[in-house]
Amino acid sequence: MGEFVALEVDGAVGTIRLNRPPMNALNKQLQEEIRAAAQEAAGRADVRAVVVYGGEKVFAAGADIKEMAAMSHADMTARARGLSSSLSAVAEIPKPTVAAITGYALGGGYELALCCDRRVCGDNVKVGQPEILLGIIPGAGGTQRLSRLIGPSRAKEVIYSGRFVAAEEALALGMVDQVVAPDDVYAEAHRWASGFAEGPAMALAAAKKAIDGGLDGDLRNGLHLESELFAALFATEDRAAGMESFIANGPGKAKFVGR
């Protein structure tokens, strides 16, 4: 457990909880604590899915601009890849992940949400990439992940303008996946994550690796990756249990052990 980030586990769902009041500004320490929590969640067998949550009032309103303003070109050259990789540690968790977004998810905060597989937000939320208003661009994955999520034209409009996007428009654009009442955000995200608590962990990890890895290259190499991961699952206990259960009882009744 760090000063600003904790991993809390409840019923096989791990919650990476940000707690740096008032706005969860992502300074270097918070970034590195996110990395540590993500790596812990990735390695724990008792964690089968992960929620990333900033609390009831705000997800994360962006980078710590006071800290960033004091950095020179040399300072940021040394730090930029570490900033990006600290949030990418969440994307690399080989389990289903969901961002529970309240209040604001802006700049680095929205880039953190982009590292999750799914984004649930309150109907009063604002999301966006306002870095252009500071004379910079998103530097922790925003230009890359947002373009892959909603397409380059829409991503360019959001990034070029730096505007705050309200929840319903964000849903229409594909920037978030579900809009609920503000008080229901965490519960809904946890409910979604809980659906994988007894799922085939290795197959879920393989599906995530195939999808994310395929998007990094061309179709041919993506298909090769898929074939390799598909074949590898035939060495797992869950594959045997799933097929035996299907033959005996039909679909959806298998008991998986995560091996």
SS3 content of the chain, % helix, strand, coil (to 5): 55, 15, 30
Task: Let me know if residue 259 belongs to a domain.
Answer: no
**Catalytic site residue 108?**
yes
pLDDT in tens, 24-48: 999 999 999 999 999 999 999 999 9
Residue of 61, 128, 131, 155 with catalytic role: 131
**Catalytic site residue 8?**
no
On whether both 26 and 109 belong to a single domain, the answer is yes
On whether both 173 and 53 belong to a single domain, the answer is yes
On whether both 84 and 176 belong to a single domain, the answer is yes
Q: Closest Cα partner for 121 from 55, 196, 184, 51?
A: 184
Q: Which of these ranges, 17-21, 57-61, 62-66, has the smallest mean pLDDT?
A: 62-66
Asked whether residue 1 carries a pLDDT value surpassing 90, the answer given is no
Which domain covers residue 177, as residue numbers?
5-194
On whether both 221 and 167 belong to a single domain, the answer is no
Residue of 103, 108, 199, 242 with catalytic role: 108
Strands 118-122 and 178-180, sheet pairing: parallel
**Catalytic site residue 168?**
no
- List residues bridging with 179 in a β-sheet: 121
Separation of alpha carbons 113 and 115, rounded Å: 5
Per-residue pLDDT averaged across 127-143, rounded? 96
Task: Let me know if residue 256 belongs to a domain.
Answer: no
pLDDT in tens, 65-118: 989 899 899 989 999 898 899 999 999 999 999 999 999 999 999 999 999 999
Task: Let me know if residue 99 belongs to a domain.
Answer: yes
Separation of alpha carbons 22 and 4, rounded Å: 12
On whether both 91 and 211 belong to a single domain, the answer is no
On whether both 136 and 218 belong to a single domain, the answer is no
On whether both 48 and 166 belong to a single domain, the answer is yes
Task: Let me know if residue 9 belongs to a domain.
Answer: yes
CA atoms within 13 A on the CB side of 93: 33
Separation of alpha carbons 158 and 132, rounded Å: 10
Residue of 25, 49, 63, 113 with catalytic role: 63
On whether both 185 and 213 belong to a single domain, the answer is no
What is the token pair recorded at 180?
């609920």
Question: Does residue 61 contact residue 22 with C-beta atoms inside 8 Å?
Answer: no
**Catalytic site residue 111?**
yes
Residue of 33, 111, 142, 155 with catalytic role: 111
